[in-house]
Amino acid sequence: MPLLELKGVSAGYTGASVLNKITLSLDAGEIATLVGSNGAGKSTIAKLVSGILTPMQGEVIFDGKSVKGLSASDRLRLGIAHVPEGRQIFGGMTVLENLRLGAYSVPSRLSMDIESQLAFVCMFFPVLKDRLGDVAGNFSGGQQQMLAIARGLMSRPRLLILDEPSLGVAPLLVNEIFQLIQRLRGEGITILLAEQNARQALSIADRGYVIENGQMVMEGAAAALAGSADIAERYLGIGTSIGANEDKDARMARELLRIVA
């Protein structure tokens, strides 16, 4: 049974319809990535799952049950944690204070206490462990992103939604963050990853969903999507030219993707 399903979900913001009948399914223990360009609707999907936004139509199902009517904090208690785009950490607070906030509304669901969850999280983020008392606002973009993910993990989620974790992060740390996401899957955490960085996202994901203008235009095994010339051209920054060179370029794109994947 999938851990998360969206069935024909449409949504929008006051006056503007954004998503049109999105259907997706994510099995427990997998990473699914939502890829697509600026404004495609990735973050909107993330918000629908975590309960920040309510669908106009369709259903969000978590662990076999509709989450209709459940608030974001209800869903956090069920095990859905959302690490929002732009991190939104509290810059004036310490690392430890930020982390504790992540566990704020959920202790009743946890069999382990906050201190052991903190120890678990610190194991994944040694850089944070050494700086628990530091003010978070002084951290680099990448370190703040790690803190945001760590804060999300403090609720001991079953589903972790990561919205653009690579945004505003230096390239070296981006690799580290993607490796870390894979390790979290290794811990049995199911991950929904929204990313403009389609290449890296598809290289670590099991399934991929391509969103364009609020529509799901393609879906499939992440490796297959990464190998598709169409995807390469549109989302991986590898252009195919017209005419006779087209096949050659597509081939080159596939070669390149095999190397980077």
Ligand X SMILES: Nc1ncnc2c1ncn2[C@@H]1O[C@H](COP(=O)(O)OP(=O)(O)OP(=O)(O)O)[C@@H](O)[C@H]1O
Six token digits for residue 114: 């906050």
Distance, CA of 142 to CA of 151 (rounded, Å): 14
- Tell which one of 23, 196, 203, 215 touches ligand X (CB under 6 A): 196
Q: What b/e string do you get for 96-107 counting C-beta neighbours within 10 Å, with b at 16 or more?
A: eebbbebbeebe
User: Cβ of residue 199: shortest distance to Mg ion, in angstroms?
Assistant: 17
Total residues contacting ligand X by CB under 6 A comes to: 14
Indicate the residue type of 207: R
Residues 27, 190 contacting (CB under 8 angstroms): yes
Segment 76 to 135, residues that bind ligand X, using CB under 6 A: 85
User: Cβ of residue 48: shortest distance to ligand X, in angstroms?
Assistant: 10
Q: Which does 41 bind (CB under 5 to 8 A by kind): ligand X, Mg ion, none?
A: ligand X
Residues 222, 231 contacting (CB under 8 angstroms): no
- Tell which one of 3, 6, 24, 40 touches ligand X (CB under 6 A): 40
Three-state secondary structure call for residue 18: strand
Q: Which residues are paired to 22 by β-bridges?
A: 9
Residue 41 binds ligand X (CB under 6 A): yes
User: Cβ of residue 115: shortest distance to ligand X, in angstroms?
Assistant: 35
Q: Which does 39 bind (CB under 5 to 8 A by kind): Mg ion, ligand X, none?
A: ligand X
Q: Are strands 190-195 and 2-13 parallel, antiparallel or unpaired?
A: unpaired
User: Cβ of residue 100: shortest distance to ligand X, in angstroms?
Assistant: 28
Q: Which does 18 bind (CB under 5 to 8 A by kind): ligand X, Mg ion, none?
A: ligand X
Dihedral Cα 66, 68, 71, 74, nearest 10 deg: -20
Q: Which is nearer to Mg ion, 4 or 18 (CB)?
A: 18
Segment 132 to 171, residues that bind ligand X, using CB under 6 A: 164
34, 71, 125, 217 from 21: Cα distances, Å: 15, 22, 38, 11
Residues 225, 199 contacting (CB under 8 angstroms): no
Binding residues vs Mg ion (CB under 5 A): 42-43, 85
User: Cβ of residue 119: shortest distance to Mg ion, in angstroms?
Assistant: 32
Q: Contact residues for ligand X (CB under 6 A)?
A: 13, 16, 18, 36, 38-44, 85, 164, 196
